[in-house]
Amino acid sequence: ISPSEVETVDGCHPSSVCGLWHYFRQEEGMYKLQCMDLCEGTKYLPDQDFLEQHFARINKESNEVYRDIFSSQFPQHADPWDVRPSASPMSGFGVTMVYAAHNLAKAFATGGIFTTPQDSMITWTSEAYCGDERSLSCYFLRPTNVSFRVVDDKNNSA
């Protein structure tokens, strides 16, 4: 393939067959088209100031969500009766992760605490890696840093 056969995009034409990256940057109140051939140089294509300007708000919101999740999952005081672990269905690992994410979001939204029961992922975890605790907890940080008594829906000790 010769560069002349590569299609021009928004007025940018590559000088190689790799294609091109194009973006707009603001200069003196005007947006200017920037074209960069993907075969030329190893420079990170969007400028750092462009990324910082564009994603500062997203980073701020992300930090706020992280702080909220952390404070709800690691409370100073926890009512043991609010802890209700959810067992994972015996299904594919992707479904198990979606199920866990759903329950984590539900706990966050309701101000509860999400924890996974021991052996909840026995099919999908390694005994050599997890030991006796074959649940999501062996792969991630502990869901809570407080002591609590785990109970079922009838308030019986689990």
- pLDDT tens digit sequence for 38-68: 776 655 556 667 777 777 888 888 888 888 8
User: CA–CA distance from 140 to each of 56, 100, 134 (Å)?
Assistant: 28, 12, 12
Kind and range of the H or E element at 32? strand 30-37
- According to the model, what pLDDT value does residue 53 have? 77
Q: What are phi and psi of 67, to 5 degrees?
A: -60, -45
Alpha helices in the chain (DSSP H): 48-73, 93-110, 127-130
Q: How many Å is the Cα radius of gyration of the chain?
A: 25
Q: What is the rounded CA–CA span in Å between residue 87 and residue 99? A: 9
CA-closest candidate to residue 83, choices 143, 18, 14, 13: 143
Tokens coding 124: 């999908």
- According to the model, what pLDDT value does residue 57 have? 80
- According to the model, what pLDDT value does residue 54 have? 75
Q: What is the rounded CA–CA span in Å between residue 99 and residue 120? A: 12
Beta-bridge partners for 22: 35
- According to the model, what pLDDT value does residue 143 have? 46
The crossing angle, in degrees rounded to 10, of helices 48-73 and 93-110 is: 70
* Local mean pLDDT, 10-residue blocks, the chain (158 residues): 52 64 72 71 62 79 82 65 55 69 82 71 66 65 50 70
- According to the model, what pLDDT value does residue 111 have? 80
Q: What is the rounded CA–CA span in Å between residue 88 and residue 94? A: 11
What is residue 87's DSSP assignment?
Answer: P
Q: Is the pTM of this model over 0.75?
A: no
Chain centroid, CA 146 distance in Å? 24
